[in-house]
Amino acid sequence: MIAAGQPKQPPGRTRHARHAEVLDRWPVLAEQWARELERRRMATQAPERMPMQGISPLAAINRRLGLPDDHGADAIVSIEQAAASA
């Protein structure tokens, strides 16, 4: 198993939150024209997590490896619950 190492940011902290912090630090970006550009950029971005269509990536990997579709799903659920509770 390959270890990915420690996450580079605390759980639950998105790049959008970091970007907003940077915007608040720079006074020139507090101007109306810059905020309007930022609002438009945020409105045109794709959501971070698209709704699942078809089979999940986990099921596809499991099928390729000859495993049951739900193999490893309990580990993913426990990781998501731990991230949500942190």
Residue-wise pLDDT tens digits, 2-59: 556 665 666 666 777 777 787 777 766 677 888 888 788 777 776 666 666 788 888 8
Mean pLDDT of all residues in 57-74? 88
- Domain spans in the chain, listed from the N-terminal domain onward: 13-46, 55-86
| Whether residue 73 has pLDDT greater than 80 | yes
Angle at 30 between CA 25 and CA 36, to 5 degrees: 130
Say if residues 38 and 53 touch (Cβ distance below 8 Å): no
Greater confidence (45 vs 68) lies with 68
Residue type, 84: A
The helix or strand, by DSSP H or E, that contains position 16, with its residue range, turns out to be helix 15-25
**Two structure tokens written together for 40:** 């438009």
The CA distance from 50 to 52, in Å, is 6
Query: What's residue 66's pLDDT?
Result: 92
